[in-house]
Amino acid sequence: MLSKLLDLLYPRLCFACSSNPVAKDVSICLSCEYKITPTIYHTMPENTVAERFYGRVKIERATTAFSFVKGGLLQQLIHKLKYDNRPEIGIELGKIYGNILRDSGIWSDIDFVIPVPLHPKKKHQRGYNQAEMWGQGLAESLGIELRNDLLIRTDYTESQTKKSRTERFANVENVFSVTDPKTLEKKQILLVDDVLTTGATLEACSNTLLKSTDVFINIVCIALAD
Ligand SMILES: [Zn+2]
């Protein structure tokens, strides 16, 4: 009774537009949901996302969750997630896509969700790691444990955004470290990040993981943007 009354007085709002009320157990309104289109890459072993890593690093599967349109709603949401203190956006997007992955049944063998780590200094500035928020939503939907302690960042690097492709690769080559190779041995992991651009950071993380232990790497990012 009380919760119904509270819902009437303070309706829950859509996480994307922050204006339309949404029903219980729903986080996004229909009009926003319509503007965020999931990809079907997770159903295709060979796809444009996986191809980015061919010949660079051994990964099992790779997918980006939603179609990226410049200036579109998803780009605005990712911007808010990264720069506007809206961690719940990452969690909600993760839940939506996690449900899609779960229902597909194709990705049911994953043992851990592992976010691309932010340097502690950067995490402190932002208040959270946006990749971890995305991973948290995925982990929740998939019923898998998120582990942010197995792969850590040991060196502070400058932001990637103003760097050339070559500089980006050199910048992240040796900044990651695996804390507990034994726990990861023979495991299928879901390595997650927000936006996939050059793939330099994901490649560096994957190389560090593969050098440390016998692990199977699957990559899931929110979107592919060039
Ligand atoms: Zn909305």
- The CATH number for 46's domain is 3.40.50.2020
189 CB-near residues (< 8 Å, 6+ apart)? 110, 111, 112, 113, 114, 209, 215, 216, 217, 218
Share of the chain above pLDDT 90, in %: 77
pLDDT of residue 159: 62
Q: pLDDT digit string (tens) for 79-128?
A: 999 999 999 999 999 999 999 999 999 889 999 999 999 988 888 899 99
> 213 lies in which domain range?
37-224
Q: Is the pLDDT of residue 7 over 80?
A: no
73 CB-near residues (< 8 Å, 6+ apart)? 16, 32, 35, 36
- Same domain? For 151 and 103 the reply is yes
The H-assigned helical ranges of 44-151 are: 48-51, 73-83, 87-104, 120-126, 130-142
d(CA 64, ligand 1 centre) in Å: 22
Q: Is the pLDDT of residue 170 over 80?
A: no
- Same domain? For 172 and 124 the reply is yes
Q: pLDDT digit string (tens) for 24-59?
A: 888 899 999 999 999 999 999 899 999 999 999 999
Q: What residue type is 3 in one-letter code?
A: S
Residues with CB under 5 A from ligand 1 (ion): 14, 16-17, 20, 29, 32
For residues 86 and 27, give the distance between their C-alpha atoms in angstroms, rounded to a whole number: 14
This prediction has a pTM of 0.89
CB half-sphere exposure, 84, CA atoms < 13 A: 12
Nearest to 151 by CA among 190, 102, 124, 107: 190
Other CB atoms within a 10 A radius of the CB of residue 221 amount to 24
d(CA 16, ligand 1 centre) in Å: 5
- Same domain? For 118 and 66 the reply is yes
| Domains identified in the chain, total number | 2
Instruction: State the sign of the Cα–Cα–Cα–Cα dihedral 177, 181, 185, 189.
Output: negative
- Same domain? For 30 and 70 the reply is no
d(CA 93, ligand 1 centre) in Å: 13
d(CA 88, ligand 1 centre) in Å: 14
End-to-end CA distance of the chain: 50
d(CA 34, ligand 1 centre) in Å: 9
- Same domain? For 41 and 140 the reply is yes
